[in-house]
Amino acid sequence: MFKLLHIDSSIRKRQNNNPQHDSISKRLAYSFVENMKESSSVSQYVYRDVGMNPPPFTDQDWLGAVFTPIDKRSTQQCQKLAISDTLIAEVKEADIIVISTPMYNYGMPAQLKAWFDQIVRVNETFSFDLARGNFPLEPILSGKTLVLITSCGEFGFEVGGVREHMNHLAPHIKTLSKYIGCERIFEIASEYQEFADLRHQSSLEAAFIETRKLAKRLI
């Protein structure tokens, strides 16, 4: 049985009056999650749509609270970290983390970056020790699986693709995922959306098939 944390980040809804406005990444993530649920392998499910309900950006007061020892934090500092504490607790509980995201300006949406900034936190998800030399950061959490579901307007962002050097979405998320304990990563991508041609339809259909296959694989 798995505890599943599901993070959507598109600013679009999954379903709209005009289907052409539906979020592709949210639709794909929904397919994966529903297939997991149908297998009765999910014991706990937590959902957050940070695209529609983004966490606050961090600021200097937030940073000051983070670096204040827990037993010396003021009431105001504890309140400042309350959202971060809640989000981190959800990550710690999860066995599988599902992140769905569109590619915006070749990277992740600001809302998703805000979520990562709230949860990748020293002494909570990673430790810092200069005695380790040039690599002082180490993850505290471990054993988690990341299912990364992306949608792109263009194509060729995969390794060896014509736009690999322009992909600042998946590589960034994969780097950060280490510091929230993700040791296995599976990626499903839909491309060609802006072209609205048969290539996009084929890519989307293949991505839906992959959501079902991966759900069965992880059961």
* Confidence check: pLDDT of 40 > 80: no
pTM: 0.96
Confidence at 27, pLDDT banded by 50, 70, 90? very high
pLDDT per residue over 114-148, tens digit each? 999 999 999 999 999 999 999 999 999 999 999 99
HSE-CB of 50 using CA atoms within 13 angstroms: 27
Quick one: pLDDT at residue 41?
A: 83
Number of domains the chain contains: 1
pLDDT-above-70 percentage for the chain: 100
Q: How many CB atoms lie within 10 A of CB 85?
A: 14
pLDDT per residue over 51-84, tens digit each? 999 999 999 999 999 999 999 999 999 999 999 9
Confidence at 219, pLDDT banded by 50, 70, 90? confident
User: Which residues does the annotation place in the binding site?
Assistant: 10, 23-25
Give the domain range for residue 186: 2-218
CATH number of the domain at 137, please.
Answer: 3.40.50.360
User: Which residues does the annotation place in the binding site for FMN?
Assistant: 10, 23-25
> The tokens 């290539």 sit on which residue?
199
